[in-house]
Amino acid sequence: MASSFMPEQARAPPALPLPFKIGLCQLSVTADKERNIAHARKAIEEAAAKGAKLVMLPEIWNSPYSNDSFPVYAEDIDAGGEASPSTAMLSEAARLLKITIVGGSIPERSGDRLYNTCCVFDSDGKLKAKHRKIHLFDIDIPGKITFIESKTLTAGETPTIVDTVNHGLGLAEVGRIGIGICYDIRFQELAIIYAARGAHLICYPGAFNMTTGPLHWELLQRARAADNQLYVATCSPARDVAAGYVAWGHSTLVGPFGEVLATTEHEEDIIISEIDYSLLEVRRTNLPLTKQRRGDLYQLVDVQRLKSDS
Ligand SMILES: O=C(O)CCC(=O)C(=O)O
């Protein structure tokens, strides 16, 4: 049996967690940051009270979604404490409620740069991972939507995968989770790499809009899940038609067969749904895609892993 003194490489892989509940908090977001933080905390507490062991928040939940707001609402996550009241709240909530939190995203200040960043906290309140949005949302659909995140934000440089291991119990609390933020979902290569690294679930906090949302939001989630035979969870802000950026809403959990397991409309909501990772093996046996891949004809290179191996 793995002892807590063994080095990381010598540990047996943690046992898959038993089925557990995920909570997706589709929150209203206002210009009042203090209120947004208190509101998010309340929603996290409600999801945990309903049995969620993993709780997820939307993209940019502490600030309006705009290039004017990002510099004003940005926090120095690495400094922590008073420099980052949003992540201080997430850490405390995770610790007190004994849950894992995929903390949506907030604007992050690091030196003279700004990022769109998702923090993952384990059930001890420890920051396990920080994902900086890799693909910035720069699009122009004339007459419909133009948004250029790169006006203010810098793109992240690394894919992010998190093991939620409880070493004491030798259990993967809520599994191995890949993280992407919104526009990151459009890039299938990222999801393929997460699947190849053993992710059970990919979490995409996101805020699609009224043009691309109806066409692409569910389509992309189901495609990422079906192609990679894993769970996909998304969490959006609730829709505010008076806001400068109107979010599509429709936070969703998709299963490893590409099936929508739980979803909602555009109002505030907390979705609670069950995740059972034993289904991954079932689906992968039904459709043995990994074994059937034609590596002799095509290959995808995991550049980060290649660099770390060399
Ligand atoms: O890809 C899209 O259509 C929307 C993406 C988005 O809203 C974002 O990345 O914030």
Distance 209 CA to ligand 1 centre (A): 7
Tens digits of per-residue pLDDT, 29-55?
Answer: 999 999 999 999 999 999 999 999 999
Task: Tell whether the model's pLDDT for residue 12 goes beyond 60.
Answer: no
More confident residue, 11 or 101: 101
Instruction: For residues 223-238, give the mean pLDDT.
Output: 98
186 lines ligand 1 (CB under 6 A): yes
To the query of whether residue 119 is one of the catalytic residues in this protein, the response is no
Q: Which of 235, 197, 201, 240 is nearest to 217 (CA)?
A: 235
Nearest to 33 by CA among 58, 57, 59, 61: 61
Q: Where are the domains of the chain?
A: 23-309
Mutational pocket test of ligand 1: of 70, 132, 209, the residue with most ligand atoms within 8 Å of the beta carbon: 209
* Burial class for 307, CB neighbours closer than 10 Å (0-12, 13-18, 19+): exposed
Q: Which of 118, 182, 203, 235 is catalytic?
A: 182
Asked whether 251 and 22 are in contact (CB, 8 A), the reply is: no
Ligand 1 in contact with 93 (CB < 6 A)? Answer: no
Q: What is the pLDDT of residues 150-161, one digit of tens each?
A: 999 999 999 999
Q: Is the pLDDT of residue 3 over 60?
A: no
- CA proximity to 60, closest of 125, 107, 127, 11: 107
**Residue 59 is a catalytic residue:** yes
pTM beyond 0.90: yes
218 included as an active-site residue = no
Cβ atoms of residues 84 and 75 within 8 Å: yes
Q: Per CATH, is 23-309 categorized as 3.60.110.10?
A: yes
- DSSP letter at 9 equals G
Cβ pair 195, 224 in contact under 8 A: no
Does the beta carbon of 116 lie inside 6 Å of ligand 1?
no
Q: Which of residues 118 and 8 earns the better pLDDT score?
A: 118
Asked if residues 87 and 80 have their Cβ atoms less than 8 Å apart, the reply is yes
* Ligand 1 atom nearest residue 135's Cα: 9
Task: Read off the pLDDT of each residue in 205-225 and give the average, rounded to a whole number.
Answer: 98
Model confidence pLDDT, tens digit, residues 249-285: 999 999 999 999 999 999 999 999 999 999 999 999 9
178's tokens: 């890949």
Query: Is residue 137 within 6 Å of ligand 1 at its C-beta?
Result: yes
